[in-house]
């Protein structure tokens, strides 16, 4: 099976990048399943039903979220109904939505789990323990993909090594910068520290540089705006063996327009 | 001029990586100057005179540091004498050592500046303002290289964009994971969010995985140990034009042994 | 001289507390000068010209601020003109407003300095170094009062001990809970870790409890609202000797209505 | 019933304070039960069996802990055997020790629960949810006391208001500065934001001022030492009704020697 995981889609520019590049990626890599982190897809902050549907239309099959899950209140209206969007599992249990989902794709049982780190993030439970408590319920899946949304490289990698062999892949999100370390760990779990950014090329984390630079210079509050102009998609490809569902390859993907 | 910037060297394994790979890199890329971040070079925590001299012997010309600068007290004995080692400029002014240094290489005036981020780092001044205050003093350098040692991708990139055109390169360090975003910004400054790790391949940030995994599982205090086995060097190459000192190229470099 | 320092005034309820209690406090304690922390006086977030003027009308002579300084954009319109309102000195130098002010009261030269802590606060310079650099300029003041706006008790106390003997008083603000430790340090500087909250009694930090409790239960974003009902003023009284300006007394003050 | 809760005991000076003052407090206030936070009782960092036994000998009946629980490895040897010492309940479940304990005192069933905040503390689960999950098991206790060990005033108060009416008292610890806000909330739960410090008077948080001041001035690593000289005990008294176990009074207590 060929799975694409797309890094945080930021605003209109990010959606344009998906529209521009995804169709070809689906064809070129014979993709069976496309996941994306959608926490910044609506104006940089959160997601709306309209934006989600626009992106489903471009070929995205599933969304994970992160610390920006609740930024746009529209999500409260549809998260409990949308079977293709999850939020971090280790958010408080009484939060709307779910933290994992099992999907059937050509008779392969695929489970996606969304987790968020605890380092520099407040109000969330242990991602490791929350995951291990869930594990017996999803263990019989053919493929398990984890979006681990976190700031600290060490926390991402420690989690991935802690579940090495239990899951198909741990894909890091949140920093909006793709890392150069896609690899398969000793027990077979595929890993990348951060899959990157889908949005404006001339940007800082997808937002217009000017306001971020201004903030660096004076620490005053600013209203960030989504970047414009050329766009890029950053993602990673995970290829699994159709016989035994083991990972055959994980590879960074990056496409710019000119 | 061909400059190599080597990512955080972690412990004995990191020094072995330098010994294993640097000689060939110097030859292959006709390197004129080799800088490395040395904050973890002695047992993972800080640097000692002995370790610095071992690494100078392998071909490193200059060291920058970071949040681990003072972890090994040996540094207090030699930092004020060693002209080839600097610590973050935006540490308190009364700290030992210096935050920048100008070196003459084949009649090219090269200045190295070391800065540390403020996000998730305490007790340090504004890197931007500290740098801009220094700038008039170093402005006439042919080449200015900045090691920006920080956690948050946004802070690194915002600083680099804020000084785009004023310096030759801003090289990020600290996360121990190489990013896939080496680029030249609109005004000509070369940039990479993080140059990566020089140390054990089978490790988490250069340290043995078992203790980091244990910590993930139980949050109890652990004593980290430097990783062993296969080693890698992660770095980036900056090529400048010998006529006008503009950047011609910035490129990630990564070498493993088998 | 009798000086009153009033803890963070939170919203309409806080202003009502000032209106209710200050006139009597001025009379009862023969106050010569009344300072208040105003960072939450407009709806809980920042300050406006209108709110400042209302509070000057109740007898407040001077305002200090904190991390909420810029929350209400109205401040940008008047901070450079208002000689009675300062913001933290260790904000970036290019920020609007000033970090200290000298006032003449009955031929006594009184200087107020506003500082903010670095622990858990980002984008600010060292309060100690920024203060020591200013010190020669204000040293000849008869009385020096510092509002140290910070989260961590240790940082507040360490600063105060570091400047013990150089200033009349270091008054902590920001936690909105009055501490029970008003004291005079060995070299004569008066100190309290936090002077407290001026606002609604039935509140959490001045805001309605329901939203704060909801946040504790589900970590979802909430819009805080200023508390209502009974109000209190929390402050401290600093009495200085009219001959030599040394501190004679520092005392917590707390008044509720019924 | 008369219960005394003693604030964080810091090192030898703190133990001397307990020895000096506790016997009289027990007599004067007819104390039935004495709890103390012991996380700093051994040299400022953690607790040992020897230190715990010394303090039991002075009249302490029970210990709670906090972020320094594991600082001294001696605790691993006895925490699972000692029925009078608990650590935060919302530490990972696989940690040694327990997070709550029920004790029978004169046929009154008293439960002590230890929680730790999530704000600025990493690797811990939600204190609210962990507590609410435990609640059915302890609900039939006559008295429930919670030590909420946390930095942020808002988190402490929000938790206490969230469980107002469910527990007898929520006592804040960790900041080592007593607050001036002991009160009974609308539904009957007694509360204080921080009960304070038991240790050296001439200290910063119980440690010698010189090293803390040095750290403020230069941000270099220092080895803190327990303060010496005069000592104080800070605590609070909770009086419950022997008929219905409701809180009759909560009162700050503070004693210095001269
Ligand atoms: Fe994101
Ligand atoms: Fe995020
Ligand atoms: Fe490092
Ligand atoms: Fe570092
Ligand atoms: Fe405030
Ligand atoms: Fe504040
Ligand atoms: Fe403590
Ligand atoms: Fe603590």
**How does pLDDT run across B46-99, given as a tens digit for each residue?**
999 999 999 999 999 999 999 999 999 999 999 999 999 999 999 999 999 999
Average pLDDT value over all residues in chain B: 97
Q: Which of the residues D68, D130, D156, D208 is marked catalytic?
A: D68
The pLDDT value given to residue A130? 97
Q: Is the CB of C30 inside 8 Å of chain B's CB atoms? A: no
Closest chain B residue to C129 measured between Cα atoms? B92
Q: Is the CB of D44 inside 8 Å of chain C's CB atoms? A: no
At C196, phi and psi to the nearest 5?
A: 110, -155
**What is the spatial distance between Cα D69 and Cα A188, in angstroms, rounded to a whole number?**
36
For the record, the structure tokens of C20 come out as 């209710």
Say if residues C216 and C207 touch (Cβ distance below 8 Å): no
**What is the spatial distance between Cα C157 and Cα C191, in angstroms, rounded to a whole number?**
8
Q: For the beta carbon of residue A140, count every other beta carbon within 10 angstroms.
A: 9
Do A217 and C92 make contact, defined as CB atoms within 8 angstroms?
Answer: yes
**Span A66-85, average pLDDT:** 98
Residues of C in contact with D155 (CB under 8 A): 216
β-pair partners for B235:
B6, B253
**Span C65-77, average pLDDT:** 98
Q: Give the model confidence (pLDDT) of D25-43 as tens digits.
A: 999 999 999 999 999 999 9
Q: For the beta carbon of residue D8, count every other beta carbon within 10 angstroms.
A: 30
Give the catalytic positions of C in this structure.
Answer: 68
Share of chain A above pLDDT 90, in %: 98
Q: For the beta carbon of residue A183, count every other beta carbon within 10 angstroms.
A: 12
pLDDT higher than 90, residue C231: yes
Residues of C in contact with A219 (CB under 8 A): 91-92, 95, 122-124
Say if residues C226 and C207 touch (Cβ distance below 8 Å): yes
Q: Report residue B244's pLDDT band, with 50, 70 and 90 as the boundaries.
A: very high
Q: Is the CB of D157 inside 8 Å of chain C's CB atoms? A: yes
Q: Give the model confidence (pLDDT) of C17-49 as tens digits.
A: 999 999 999 999 999 999 999 999 999 999 999
**What is the spatial distance between Cα C130 and Cα D121, in angstroms, rounded to a whole number?**
29
**Span C248-255, average pLDDT:** 97
Share of chain B above pLDDT 90, in %: 98
At B135, phi and psi to the nearest 5?
A: -50, -45
Do D126 and A126 make contact, defined as CB atoms within 8 angstroms?
Answer: no
pLDDT higher than 90, residue C255: yes
Residues of B in contact with C123 (CB under 8 A): 118, 126
Q: Which of C48, C17, C6, C43 is nearest to C207 (CA)?
A: C43
pLDDT higher than 80, residue C258: no
**What is the spatial distance between Cα C95 and Cα C115, in angstroms, rounded to a whole number?**
14
**Span A214-224, average pLDDT:** 95
Tell me whether strands B169-173 and B143-149 are parallel, antiparallel or unpaired.
parallel
β-pair partners for A235:
A6, A253
Do B119 and C119 make contact, defined as CB atoms within 8 angstroms?
Answer: no
Q: Is the CB of D93 inside 8 Å of chain B's CB atoms? A: no
Residue C8 assigned to a binding site: yes
**B91 CA distance to ligand 3 centroid (A)?**
16
Q: Which helix (H) or strand (E) holds A172?
A: strand A169-173
**What is the spatial distance between Cα D49 and Cα C8, in angstroms, rounded to a whole number?**
44
**What is the spatial distance between Cα A88 and Cα A100, in angstroms, rounded to a whole number?**
8
Q: Which of C181, C129, C132, C124 is nearest to C149 (CA)?
A: C124
Give the mutation candidate from B121, B151, B220, B221 for the D interface (greatest D CB count, under 10 A).
Answer: B220
Say if residues A103 and A136 touch (Cβ distance below 8 Å): no
Q: Is the CB of A126 inside 8 Å of chain D's CB atoms? A: yes
ipTM: 0.96
For the record, the structure tokens of C90 come out as 């260790």
Share of chain D above pLDDT 90, in %: 98
pLDDT higher than 90, residue D258: no
Do D196 and C209 make contact, defined as CB atoms within 8 angstroms?
Answer: no
What does chain C come to in residues? 258
Residue D249's contacts (CB-CB under 8 Å, 6 or more residues apart) are: D237, D238, D239
Provide the number of CB pairs (under 8 Å) joining chain B to chain D. Answer: 30
The pLDDT value given to residue C209? 97
D68 is annotated as an active-site residue: yes
Q: Report residue A257's pLDDT band, with 50, 70 and 90 as the boundaries.
A: confident
Residue C149's contacts (CB-CB under 8 Å, 6 or more residues apart) are: C37, C39, C64, C65, C66, C67, C88, C114, C115, C116, C117, C172, C173, C174
Residues of B in contact with D92 (CB under 8 A): 217-219
Say if residues A181 and B205 touch (Cβ distance below 8 Å): no
pLDDT higher than 80, residue D18: yes
Instruction: Scan for tokens 């939203």, then name that residue.
Output: C211
- From B206's Cα to the closest Cα of chain D, the distance in A is 22
β-pair partners for B234:
B254
The pLDDT value given to residue C257? 80
At D240, phi and psi to the nearest 5?
A: -115, 155
Give the mutation candidate from A67, A171, A180, A198 for the B interface (greatest B CB count, under 10 A).
Answer: A180
pLDDT higher than 80, residue A258: no
Q: Report residue C54's pLDDT band, with 50, 70 and 90 as the boundaries.
A: very high
Q: Which domain holds residue A51?
A: 2-256
For the record, the structure tokens of D165 come out as 């009416």
Structural domain count, chain C: 1
**B2 CA distance to ligand 7 centroid (A)?**
53
Minimal Cβ distance to A220: which of C70, C218, C221: C70
Residues of A in contact with B115 (CB under 8 A): none
Do A254 and B180 make contact, defined as CB atoms within 8 angstroms?
Answer: yes
**What is the spatial distance between Cα D190 and Cα D238, in angstroms, rounded to a whole number?**
8
Tell me whether strands A143-149 and A169-173 are parallel, antiparallel or unpaired.
parallel
Q: Give the model confidence (pLDDT) of A175-212 as tens digits.
A: 999 999 999 999 999 999 999 999 999 999 999 999 99
Q: Read off the CATH number of the domain in which B207 is found.
A: 3.60.21.10
Do D122 and A118 make contact, defined as CB atoms within 8 angstroms?
Answer: yes
Judged by CB atoms within 8 Å, which residues 51-70 of A form the interface with C? 70
Say if residues D170 and D189 touch (Cβ distance below 8 Å): yes
Which chains border C (3 or more CB–CB pairs < 8 Å)? A, B, D
Q: Is the CB of A106 inside 8 Å of chain C's CB atoms? A: no
Task: Identify residues whose C-beta is under 5 A from ligand 5, the ion.
Answer: C 8, 39-40
For the record, the structure tokens of B164 come out as 């785009």
Provide the number of CB pairs (under 8 Å) joining chain A to chain D. Answer: 23
Say if residues A132 and A100 touch (Cβ distance below 8 Å): no
Residue C168's contacts (CB-CB under 8 Å, 6 or more residues apart) are: C143, C144, C145, C189, C190, C238, C240, C245, C247
Say if residues C131 and C112 touch (Cβ distance below 8 Å): no
Say if residues C114 and C99 touch (Cβ distance below 8 Å): yes
Q: Is the CB of B158 inside 8 Å of chain C's CB atoms? A: no
**What is the spatial distance between Cα A181 and Cα B24, in angstroms, rounded to a whole number?**
23
- Dihedral sign computed on CA atoms, order A7, A10, A13, A16: positive
- From A154's Cα to the closest Cα of chain D, the distance in A is 13
Q: Give the model confidence (pLDDT) of C189-222 as tens digits.
A: 999 999 999 999 999 999 999 999 999 999 999 9
At C95, phi and psi to the nearest 5?
A: -70, 150
Do C94 and A124 make contact, defined as CB atoms within 8 angstroms?
Answer: no
Say if residues A14 and A41 touch (Cβ distance below 8 Å): yes
Do A179 and B180 make contact, defined as CB atoms within 8 angstroms?
Answer: yes
Residue A187's contacts (CB-CB under 8 Å, 6 or more residues apart) are: A164, A165
Residue A181 assigned to a binding site: no
- From A231's Cα to the closest Cα of chain B, the distance in A is 14
Helix, strand, or coil (residue C175): coil
Using alpha carbons, list the distances in angstroms from residue C146 to B99, C7, C37, C163.
31, 13, 11, 10
> Cα(first)–Cα(last) distance of chain B, in Å?
31
Instruction: Scan for tokens 């941000």, then name that residue.
Output: D219
**C45 CA distance to ligand 8 centroid (A)?**
30
**A255 CA distance to ligand 1 centroid (A)?**
18
Residue C67 assigned to a binding site: yes
- Show contacts of A254-257: CB within 8 Å, 24+ apart: A254/A178, A254/A196, A254/B180, A255/A21, A255/A25, A256/A201, A256/A230, A256/A231, A256/A232, A257/A20, A257/A21, A257/A230, A257/A231, A257/A232
Q: Give the model confidence (pLDDT) of D52-95 as tens digits.
A: 999 999 999 999 999 999 999 999 999 999 999 999 999 999 99
Residue B14's contacts (CB-CB under 8 Å, 6 or more residues apart) are: B8, B40, B41, B197, B198, B199, B200, B206, B226, B231
Q: What is the 3-state secondary structure (H, E, C) of D14-57?
A: HHHHHHHHHHHHHHHCCCCEEEEECCCCCCCCCCCHHHHHHHHH
The pLDDT value given to residue B257? 80
CB environment B183-200: b (16+ within 10 A), e (fewer)? ebbeeebbbbbbbbbbbb
Known binding-site residue numbers of B:
8, 39-40, 67, 149, 174, 176
Closest chain A residue to B208 measured between Cα atoms? A158
**What is the spatial distance between Cα C53 and Cα C67, in angstroms, rounded to a whole number?**
21
**What is the spatial distance between Cα D100 and Cα D154, in angstroms, rounded to a whole number?**
23
Q: Which of the residues A12, A15, A16, A68 is marked catalytic?
A: A68
Task: Identify residues whose C-beta is under 5 A from ligand 6, the ion.
Answer: C 66-67, 174
């Amino acid at each position: 099976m060929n799975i694409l995981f797309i890094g945080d889609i930021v605003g209109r520019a990010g959606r344009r990048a998906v529209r521009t590049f995804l169709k070809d990626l689906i064809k070129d890599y014979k993709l069976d399943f496309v996941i994306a982190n959608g926490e910044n897809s609506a104006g940089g902050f959160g997601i709306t039903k309209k934006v989600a549907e626009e992106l489903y239309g471009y070929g995205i099959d599933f969304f994970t979220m992160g610390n920006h899950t609740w930024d746009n209140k529209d999500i409260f209206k549809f998260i409990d109904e949308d079977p293709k969007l999850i939020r971090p599992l280790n958010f408080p249990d009484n939060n709307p939505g779910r933290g994992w989902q099992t999907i059937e794709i050509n008779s392969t049982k695929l489970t996606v789990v969304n987790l968020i780190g605890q380092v520099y993030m407040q109000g969330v439970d242990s991602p490791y323990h929350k995951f291990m408590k869930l594990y017996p319920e999803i263990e019989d899946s053919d493929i398990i993909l984890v979006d681990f949304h976190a700031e600290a490289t060490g926390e991402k990698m420690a989690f991935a090594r802690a579940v090495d062999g239990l899951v198909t892949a741990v894909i890091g999100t949140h920093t909006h910068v793709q890392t150069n370390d896609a690899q398969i760990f000793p027990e077979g779990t595929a890993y990348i520290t951060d899959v990157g950014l889908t949005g404006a090329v001339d940007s800082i984390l997808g937002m217009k540089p000017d306001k971020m630079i201004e903030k660096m210079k004076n620490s005053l509050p600013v209203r960030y705006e989504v970047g414009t102009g050329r766009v890029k998609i950053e993602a990673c490809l995970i290829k699994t063996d159709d016989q035994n569902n083991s990972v055959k390859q994980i590879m960074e993907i990056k496409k710019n327009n000119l």
